[in-house]
């Protein structure tokens, strides 16, 4: 188990299933507007606010919620310092995986939907302290090192996303995205299935019950423009190892079991 300031491994029952060749560390932030600003821009449109996994498992604990809110506020209030923390965590996680003899995998959006491939450049360390013209002390960062994906090519990053425009971008080779389907909003459902069809991106569908998900596994399912084989997405969380052009079948957990928005199917 790796415990960093922002990311942790070994505390998610689903990612542990994939431990062996890989070990996955996840960053959990406070979703939607819980920390004062929206880090899940499509949450209302896709209807996933009520069924969010934020309160599943250890997320039910008050101290866990407070920690997630505090992390998110640091991200919102001082992104440069936050990225410095993240770089430090990732460096330590890489060393941890090297000692353990496994490959590092990271999900930055455990309970958020931030576009990490855009405007999230990184640096390493403070390099100087200056006094500006107003007599105020300033701290300057070191060399800009590009995106988090460029800085850590040895890490396989992956996420689920409802921001469907992301899959149209030329993503870093070590960043894999799976679209998240919802029927809560017809226009969203149409847009996300269109994006999956046009880009070939895999699409995750959350079914009401495990039995319903199991029924669809290894069968063709049609959602809008998408007609594909359904795979069992709960056997492992290593989405970057999935076949291409499939539907990743998941079953509802936590509050999602009673979701009626349309995010959960069936």
CB 256 within 8 A of CB 51: yes
Higher-confidence residue of 235 and 56: namely 235
DSSP state of 91: H
Cα gap 123→81, rounded to integer Å: 10
- Reported confidence tier of residue 19, pLDDT bands at 50, 70, 90: low
Calculate mean pLDDT across residues 31-35: 85
- Specify the range with the lowest mean pLDDT, choosing from 78-92, 186-200, 209-223: 78-92
Percent with pLDDT over 90 in the chain: 66
**Which of the two residues, 61 and 95, has the higher pLDDT score?**
95
Cβ(45)–Cβ(185) below 8 Å: yes
Angle at 146 between CA 142 and CA 148, to 5 degrees: 105
Average pLDDT over residues 134-139: 55
Nearest to 163 by CA among 112, 226, 200: 112
Mode of pairing for the β-strands spanning 156-161 and 103-107: parallel
**Predicted pLDDT of residue 110:** 94
8 Å CB contact between 28 and 66:
no
The rounded distance, in Å, linking the Cα atoms of 259 and 163 is 21
**Portion of the chain with pLDDT greater than 70, in percent:** 83
Question: Mean per-residue pLDDT for 219-236?
Answer: 96
pLDDT at 190 over 90: yes
Decide: residue 132, CB within 10 A, 0-12 exposed, 13-18 middle, 19+ buried.
exposed
Q: What is the pLDDT of residue 126?
A: 42
pLDDT at 260: 84
Query: Is the predicted pLDDT of residue 257 greater than 60, yes or no?
Result: yes
Q: What is the pLDDT of residues 77-101, one digit of tens each?
A: 999 889 989 999 999 999 999 999 9
CA nearest 231: which of 212, 240, 244, 218?
218
Higher pLDDT among residues 135 and 104, named by residue = 104
């Amino acid at each position: 188990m790796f415990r960093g300031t922002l990311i942790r491994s070994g505390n998610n029952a689903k990612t542990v299933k994939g431990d062996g060749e890989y070990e996955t560390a996840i960053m959990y932030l406070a979703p939607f507007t819980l920390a004062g600003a929206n880090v899940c821009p499509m949450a209302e449109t896709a209807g996933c606010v009520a069924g969010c996994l934020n309160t599943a498992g250890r997320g039910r604990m008050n101290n866990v919620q407070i920690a997630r809110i505090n992390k998110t506020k640091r991200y919102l209030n001082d992104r440069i310092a936050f990225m410095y923390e993240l770089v430090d965590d990732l460096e330590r996680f890489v060393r941890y995986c090297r000692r353990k003899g496994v490959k590092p995998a990271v999900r930055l959006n455990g309970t958020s939907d931030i576009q990490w491939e855009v405007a999230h450049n990184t640096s390493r360390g403070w390099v100087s302290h200056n006094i500006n013209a107003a007599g105020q002390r300033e701290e300057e960062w070191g060399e800009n090192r590009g995106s988090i994906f460029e800085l850590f090519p040895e890490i396989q990053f992956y996420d689920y996303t409802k921001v469907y425009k992301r899959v149209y971008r030329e993503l870093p080779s070590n960043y894999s995205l799976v679209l998240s389907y919802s029927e809560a909003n017809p226009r969203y459902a149409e847009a996300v299935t269109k994006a999956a069809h046009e880009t070939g991106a895999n699409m995750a569908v959350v079914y009401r019950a495990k039995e319903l998900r199991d029924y669809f596994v290894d069968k063709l399912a049609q959602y809008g423009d998408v007609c594909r084989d359904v795979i069992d997405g709960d056997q492992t969380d290593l989405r970057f190892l999935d076949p291409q052009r499939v539907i990743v079948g998941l079953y509802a957990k936590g509050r999602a079991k009673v979701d009626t928005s349309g995010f959960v199917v069936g």
